[in-house]
Chains A and B, each alone.
Chain A
Amino acid sequence: MEQGRATMLAPACSRLLAKFRLKPARNLECRSWASAAQAGLAHSKTWPRYKDVYKGRIMLQRLTRRVSGTTVSMWLIGLVILAVVAYGTYKTLALGKYSLANWTDLIIYGVAQGSVYALIALGYTLVYGILRMINFAHSEVFMSGPFIGYFVATSLDQAGFLDRQPVIGLAIVLLVAMLTSLTIAVLLERIAYRPLRRAPRLVPLITAIGASFFLQYTFRGLFGSGIKGYPEIEQLKGTWPLAGGVNILKTQVVVIVAAVIMLAGLYYFVQRTKTGKAMQAVSEDKDIAALMGIDVDHIIVVTFAVGGALAGAAGVLYVLLFRQVHFFMGFIPGIKAFTAAVLGGIGNVVGAMLGGLVLGIAESLFPNLVLDGLGIPAPYQLKDALAFILLVLILIFRPTGILGERLAAKKA
């Protein structure tokens, strides 16, 4: 009799599931419940009560599956930070100390700085996408390009070539910088990373840090520890007028335009070309890609080369803005670009671009926008802290970064 009841109850259970619009996979539990009933565990009188308990349990399960205690507290912290940010912004804007032109200026400064971050971040993200390792020596790849470019630039400047033919001169410096960074990135892969490809994950990470120190101090040993000032290009001095009485620095226009071209080029390369698709395949699964006839080692070298060349280009854009090189210059932009890559969703190319821009704008805009209203003196001292708070906020609300989900789905 008990058996009969159980067989009768199983479809009832299914009907219940249908009523609560639960997924069919839940039927599994119905069946196990039914089999439990078969074993005589379920009593006929428990059924009506069980219906309610079951309904409640399922709902609770659905909730707790998504929300744990930690998540709740993280959300609370996030909301508090968000509230403080909103309050600060409101107060600053209500004070009205800064004109619209001021704000536009700040955003443009941020975009220029952010596009440099984006270019460096791509190097981190490409390598992470393929090797699942953080190439901490990338900041030195970034430094080496403009450092060697400096010697070319000064000699071109002394010959007067840079002022007569600024476009060609700049192109030469850019080419030299990109080639230097590319070479160093490729050598780095060949010497420091390839022999350790099958080693545990921490090993290449530590090698990367070692390689970073090695490169820094090699440059210091070869070229000294002083700051070297880049020559200024006469044609790039001054500003161009923009709508609404805002003037934009010529160097910033060049930097933003060049960065956009390179970002678009890279996007095309990864999405459309055969090599780019092979890179995606290797990033998906190295072994299967090799089975499909892709030369994985070659693709990894290409990835390092592309990342290196972009870092070299980013370096030249960086010195166009700031006109200084020294052996330690890569460290801070490197850390920032790494943050940008995580911010955008590490491993995701578009995410790195977006992360770089968001970080650049946040650094330039937020101290004034948020902290000024809160009455904090000298807010630009806290620029870095604010950038990292932004990172924390984004990781709370979107643990995979801004565009990380697509990657997660793809990798899953």
Chain B
Amino acid sequence: MKLRVLYFAWLRERIGEPREMVETEAETVADLVEELRAREERYALAFSDLASVRVALDQELADFDASLAGVREIAFFPPMTGG
């Protein structure tokens, strides 16, 4: 499947781009993160501490064990600081 992957804040800076299309067979968010980590050093660096990474599937907050079935857009970002 083809996923639109978005990165925000320091994840965007570490990876070096705000978005990309990713072809993957990953079943869960955690599987996708493992695939990305294995790709290049910049991904390994961005995803080195998952405790400080949040994820949204089709613009809804989700967990790392969430399924990617039917998902079109996934976003990775640090804990939010609104207000």
- Please determine whether chains A and B interact with each other in the same assembly: no
**Which residues from chain A sit less than 8 Å from chain B, CB to CB?**
none
